[in-house]
A and B are shown apart, each in its own frame.
Chain A
Amino acid sequence: AQSVTQLDSQVPVFEEAPVELRCNYSSSVSVYLFWYVQYPNQGLQLLLKYLSGSTLVESINGFEAEFNKSQTSFHLRKPSVHISDTAEYFCAVSDPDTGRRALTFGSGTRLQVQP
């Protein structure tokens, strides 16, 4: 079964600074990868996903993530964060080859953007 590791439970950063949230998954032949964002007291929203094709995927609000198969990673980056990016971010993986039709989530990274 797949597993997802988010090594950083909290990442404090100043506004307008760059940020990287790390995500590693256990090895598999093929995977689909996702980042979800959860704002305080809300449900999770899909931020971006990698299914196939270009290994660099982007969201509409400036985040990007790069699929790296050799390092089994899918790190999330933003070159300049805003206060409004303060939220918890979850990496998730789907393993289409096993037939298990559910996502496995990491433990989450809380991004705290300070003025």
Chain B
Amino acid sequence: NAGVTQTPKFQVLKTGQSMTLQCAQDMNHNSMYWYRQDPGMGLRLIYYSASEGTTDKGEVPNGYNVSRLNKREFSLRLESAAPSQTSVYFCASSEQGGANYGYTFGSGTRLTVV
């Protein structure tokens, strides 16, 4: 089925470790996004990529980096994980300017930093 695929689904890291969350979409969408979801806070935008070759910071970019590898893939990297980064991470995609038309979400990555 077409959609947004995130890997891994679950991950436990020790403080200070690094990791990359992978996201790929096969809908030929131009825009991709990374959000984190925390209880009582909804979804907060970390980074987004309006089109291939561009990335922009969102509300909560500190401690993260992103790479728009090609049109299909948008990865999120934690260079030195901290307990405050324990969260559920969602990747989403949309057509160009497509925040105006809504997103397709992946199923999420549940990350625990101990």
Contact = CB atoms under 8 A, between A and B. Distances in A.
Interface in B10-60: 31, 33, 35, 40-45, 48, 50, 58
B104 to A, nearest CB: 8
A45 B97 CA distance: 19
B103 interface: yes
A101 B29 CA distance: 13
Interface stretch (A58-66, A70-78, A79-87, A104-112): A104-112
B101 A103 contact: no
Contact of A103 (B4, B97, B99, B104): B99
A94 interface: yes
B42 A102 contact: no
A107 B100 CA distance: 20
A17 interface: no
A53 interface: no
Interface residues of B, number: 27
Interface in A1-53: 4, 6, 9, 32, 34, 36, 42-46, 49, 51
Contact of A34 (B97, B102, B108): B102
Nearest to B9: A41
A90 B42 contact: yes
B18 to A, nearest CB: 25
Contacts of B43: 44, 90, 105
A44 B90 contact: yes
Nearest to B50: A101
Given A45-B105, A46-B102, A105-B35, 13 more contacts: A4-B42, A9-B40, A42-B107, A44-B43, A44-B90, A44-B103, A46-B103, A49-B101, A51-B101, A90-B42, A102-B99, A104-B45, A106-B42
24 contacts: A32-B101, A34-B102, A36-B105, A43-B90, A43-B107, A43-B108, A44-B43, A44-B103, A46-B102, A46-B104, A51-B100, A51-B101, A90-B43, A96-B100, A100-B99, A101-B31, A101-B100, A102-B33, A102-B58, A103-B45, A103-B99, A104-B45, A107-B42, A108-B40
Interface of B: 4, 31, 33, 35, 40-45, 48, 50, 58, 90, 92, 97-108
